[in-house]
Amino acid sequence: MKKVVLSTLAIAALVFTSCSDDDNNNPDPTVTAPETYKFERNGATSVSFSGQTTRIKMAEEIIGALKVKTNTEEQLSNMFAHTEGANNFPDADLNASSKSVRSKTAASADYFSGTAESVAIKEEFDGFISKQVTEVFPNWEVDAAQGTAGKIQELGGSTRYVNAKGLEYNQAFGKGLIGALMVDQMLNNYLSTAVLDAGTNKADNDAGTLAEGKNYTTMEHKWDEAYGYLYGNEANPAVPVLGADSFLNKYVKRVEDDADFAGIAKKIYDAFKLGRQAIVEKDYELRDKQVEIIREEISRVIAVRAVYYLQYGKDNLATDLGAAFHDLSEGYGFIYSLRFTQTSATGAPHLPVAEINAFVTALQAGTGFYAYKDDASALDQMSTRIANVYGFTVEQAR
C-alpha cells in the first residue's frame, strides 16, 4: 500500500462533503440522501447510537490495558466482560454503563445466534487476555527468542512484547476485535434483514410508529447502530473525518489514504446516508442495495489490511524482526477478522470459514512467525488468495 497520507483533517473531511455521487448507487432518483448524516423528526435528531460509542471507548481502554504489565488477568477480563456499576475503567460513565464488549463479540443474528462458535470465539478473546498475563507479562524484561516470550526491539522504533512464537497478543486481540465486534455487529447484525425487518419493524416504519419513548422507528435505530460502529467515536459523527479510534474507523482511513483505494470511504458513507434516507421514505429495495455496498466495501477494507500486514511483515523478516513480528501480529488479527466479513451474494464470508481458520492456525503453527524467516512463500500464497477473492491485487494493498 502506498503511504499516501492526507495532510489535515480538513482535507480528509472533503472525502465526505464533496458533491454526492449517490445516484450511482441509487436506482430510485426520487430518494435523495442528505449532504451529511443528519436526520431529524419534529425538529429533533432521530439518530442514536450511544451504545456503540460506549463499546468503542471500552475497547480502547482494554487494548491500552493489555500493555500494562501490572494488570491482572481478573482486571483485564472484567474490563472485557464489564457489568453495570463495576469499577473497571478510569471513566465513570463507562463504569456506570450496562454495556460490555464481550457480550457483543461474535454475537450477530446472521452468524452466531446461540451457536457454539460464538462461545468459542469469546473464549479465544479470553485466551488472548490470559496468555498476555501468564506468558508475556512475566517475561517483560526478557529478550524474546524462538521458543521464549519477551521483548523485541524494532530498529529505531518501539519495543514489542511477543509470545514464544513472535505473536503480540494485544495486537491479535485489538485487530481481531475489529472483525468480531465492529464488523460482525455492523454487517451481520444491524444491517441484517433479520434485524432490520424483525417482528413488526417494517409495518411500524411504514406507519411512522416510533419506539416507545424515542424519536425514531426501530428500523431507523438499527441502521444508526450499524453506523455507530464505524463513526461512533467521531467528534461530529454526522460529518466524519476518520482516524477517530483504533478500530474500523482508523483502518477505513488507512485504506482511503492509498491512491489505489481512494474513494472507498465516501462510497461507504454515501451508502449509509442513502440507506437511512431510504428507510425514512420506506424504500426497502433501495435500503438493501446500500447494505450490499457497505458489506462489500467494509469487507474489502479488512482484506486489504490483512494483505498489507502480511506483505510488510514478510519484507522485514530479514532485517528487523521486531517490525516484522509487529506487522505479522496485525496481519494475524485482520485475517482473523475475515471470518466476520460478508458478501450479500452468499450471506457468508468471501472465503470459506475453514480456509480462514486454516490461515490463522498456520501463522502460529510450529515455531510461529520464526518459521517464515527461512521461507516466507506461505505469506505470499495467503496474500494472493485473499486479494483475488476480495477483488484487488497484492501490489495494490502494499
Structural contact between residues 277 and 47, judged by C-beta atoms closer than 8 angstroms? no
Three cell numbers written together for 130: 490470559
Q: How confident is the model at residue 29 (pLDDT cuts 50, 70, 90)?
A: confident
Q: Give the pLDDT confidence of 250-273 residue by residue, as tens digits.
A: 999 999 999 999 999 999 999 999
Q: Is the pLDDT of residue 246 over 60?
A: yes
pLDDT at 22: 43
pLDDT tens sequence across 118-159:
999 999 999 999 999 999 999 999 999 999 999 999 998 899
* Alpha carbon distance 147, 139 (integer Å): 12
Task: Give the Cα separation of 31 and 9 in Å (integer).
Answer: 30
HSE-up of residue 31 (Cα within 13 Å, Cβ side):
24
The DSSP bridge pattern shows strands 40-41 and 44-45 to be antiparallel
Residue 204 pLDDT exceeds 50: yes
Q: What is the pTM of this model?
A: 0.94
Residue 24 has pLDDT above 60, yes or no: no
Mean pLDDT of 222-233: 98
Whether 25 and 269 have beta carbons less than 8 Å apart is answered as no
What amino acid is encoded at 136 in this protein? V
Q: What is the C-alpha to C-alpha distance for residues 303 and 179, in angstroms, rounded to an integer?
A: 11
Q: What is the reported pLDDT for 190?
A: 98
Q: What is the pLDDT of residues 296-323, one digit of tens each?
A: 999 999 999 999 999 999 999 999 999 9
User: So what's the pLDDT on residue 28?
Assistant: 73
Q: Work out the average pLDDT over 344-350.
A: 96
Q: What is the pLDDT of residue 27?
A: 66
Residues found in the chain: 398
Helix (H) or strand (E) holding 40: strand 40-41
What is the rounded CA–CA span in Å between residue 72 and residue 208?
Answer: 50
Residue 2 has pLDDT above 50, yes or no: no
Mean pLDDT for the chain?
Answer: 94
| pLDDT for position 13 | 43
Residue type, 346: T
Task: Please give the share of the chain, as a percent, with pLDDT higher than 90.
Answer: 92
